[in-house]
Amino acid sequence: MATRSALINVMEKAADKASRGLKRDFGELENLQVSRKGPADFVSAADLKAEKTIKEELAKARPGYGFLMEESGTQPDSDGSGRRWVVDPLDGTTNFLHGLPHFSISIALEERGEIIAGLVYDPIKNDLFHAERGIGAFHNGRRMRVSARSRLGDCVIGTGAPFLGHGDRPRFLGEVDAITEKTAGIRRWGSAALDLAYIAAGRFDGFWEWGLSRWDVAAGIILVREAGGYVSEVNGKPINPESPSILASNNNIHSDIMKLLRKPLSNQKAP
Ligand code: 2AM
Ligand code: CA
Ligand code: CA
Ligand code: CA
């Protein structure tokens, strides 16, 4: 049954405390202060409050660890552990602000750049996903596995579209065309952390997206790996904190999806 270490308890407590504020704010959206960081890049008082709560809780429990957080940036570790928390306090802000009940809190722990634990929590559906390196991946305390599907025609693939003012839309549309032609369908749900958690849980069979940041994917990456899936860049290269793209799936379809995504890329004019 449940394998929850002290470390996961710390992460879960921080996520749980922040989620109470998020749920309250989600019920009173008309009173929420919202500002823009870019053309379609919103941040609200809910994001900021959740981030503050998570940071306080994590720092209380593990005082020397560093941070990489979406809204407040980086802070190096002060204890020589080489460990840092990688936090997206609200993944799916656009959904949140539109009253769409699909968003999450994402917390990962890195040690010298390697992800060693991850937690993604959807407070509306009460879905808690967590993983620790070498121990496994769990959904609400029960071990989870990626899907076993191997025929592309049976597979559902998640993705995210380039944001207004960012990214290569023609390339993305080519990729969507190639994936749509061969699979059971695409979903574009707006929380990359949950997209990855859904692969780990065997709900989605694959996911790709361009232009994400480490805090969007760090927790999801270890969920997928520990659930038996594979994560790389879209071109198959190993994933790293600066990767421009991510492709995650069960092992059976990874190279098939990669080939489909490469097709539209090779049709592109050289930059
Ligand atoms: P966010 O809600 O934390 O910003 C959806 O495909 C993913 O893209 C989510 O992880 C979302 O994270 C992120 N995202 C949405 N709009 C964005 C923008 N304008 N710039 C960068 N990331 C964005
Ligand atoms: Ca954001
Ligand atoms: Ca995010
Ligand atoms: Ca966010």
3-state secondary structure the chain: CCCCCHHHHHHHHHHHHHHHHHHHHHCCHHHCCEEEEECCEEEEHHHHHHHHHHHHHHHHHCCCCEEEECCCEEECCCCCCCEEEEEEEEECHHHHHCCCCCCEEEEEEEECCEEEEEEEEECCCCEEEEEECCCEEEECCEECCCCCCCCHHHCEEEECCCCCCCCCHHHHHHHHHHHHHHCCEEECCCCHHHHHHHHHCCCCCEEEEECCCHHHHHHHHHHHHHCCEEEECCCCCCCCCCCCEEEEEECCCHHHHHHHHHHHHHHCCCC
- Cα of 41 vs centre of ligand 2, distance in Å, is 6
At 104 the pLDDT is 99
Domain 152-267 fold: D-Maltodextrin-Binding Protein; domain 2 (3.40.190)
- 6-143 folds as Fructose-1,6-Bisphosphatase; Chain A, domain 1 (3.30.540)
Half-sphere exposure (CA, 13 Å, Cβ side) for 153?
A: 0
Instruction: Give, for ligand 1, the residue of 94, 169, 214 to mutate: max count of ligand atoms closer than 8 Å to Cβ.
Output: 94
Question: Per-residue confidence of the chain (271 residues) as pLDDT tens digits?
Answer: 455 799 999 999 999 999 999 999 999 999 999 999 988 899 999 999 999 999 999 999 999 999 999 999 999 999 999 999 999 999 999 999 999 999 999 999 999 999 999 999 999 999 999 999 999 999 999 999 999 999 999 999 999 999 888 889 999 999 999 999 999 999 999 999 999 999 999 999 999 999 999 999 999 999 999 999 999 999 999 999 999 999 999 999 999 999 999 976 555 555 5
Residues framing ligand 1 (Cβ under 6 A):
38, 40-41, 88, 91-94, 160, 163, 190-192, 209, 216
81-101 pLDDT, tens digit each = 999 999 999 999 999 999 999
Among residues 176, 149, 146, 14, the alpha carbon closest in space to that of 89 is found at 14
CA of 252 relative to ligand 4 center, distance in Å: 31
Q: Domains of the chain: which residue ranges?
A: 6-143, 152-267
User: How do residues 44-75 score in pLDDT, each as one tens digit?
Assistant: 999 999 999 999 999 999 999 999 999 999 99
